[in-house]
Amino acid sequence: MHKIVKILLIVVGLIGAVLWFMLPERDMPAGEAAQSGAMNAMFWVTYLLLGIAVVFSLVFALKNLFSNAANLKKTLFVVVGFLLVVAIAYVLSSGTDVSIEEMADKGLSTTEGTIKNIGTGLNMFFILTIVAVGAMLWGGVKKMGQ
């Protein structure tokens, strides 16, 4: 398996090198350069490699997760805690933080639901920041006590 991966990496590297030399010249207009076959092929190689990396990362992470009951329990606590933060953030966001009419005057059509979702994201950021700072302070105080 290791040899196959090495061979595939060499092949992809060679394809990337060939495509690099086939890229459009600097003086070509950006619109034409973006339509270049070599440019599109490089994007496809990038997407392929990214997809492979994501799939293998997920497979190995899930394999390690389900191989140990203690890790699974910790992960479930973290997921439930995160979902609890999402729920709290959603309840705290009002959806009326910004005037819909003012947004429309600026040319941005929006709804109260969109504003509520943005408020939820901001509230999640603030809650998770407070949790992170609290965890760092707790760890520092705990180390000072030892």
Tell me the Cα Rg of the chain.
Answer: 24
The full set of domain ranges for the chain reads 1-67, 69-146
Q: How large is the average pLDDT for residues 66-95?
A: 91
Q: Please report, for residues 1, 24, 29, 34, 103, the alpha-carbon distance to residue 42 in angstroms, rounded to integers and kept in the order given.
A: 26, 12, 18, 11, 39
Could you tell me the pTM of the whole model? Answer: 0.57
Look at residue 4 and tell me whether its pLDDT is greater than 90.
no
- What is the structure's pLDDT at 95? 76
Cα 58 from Cα 77, distance rounded (Å): 19
pLDDT band at 138 (very low <50, low <70, confident <90, very high): very high
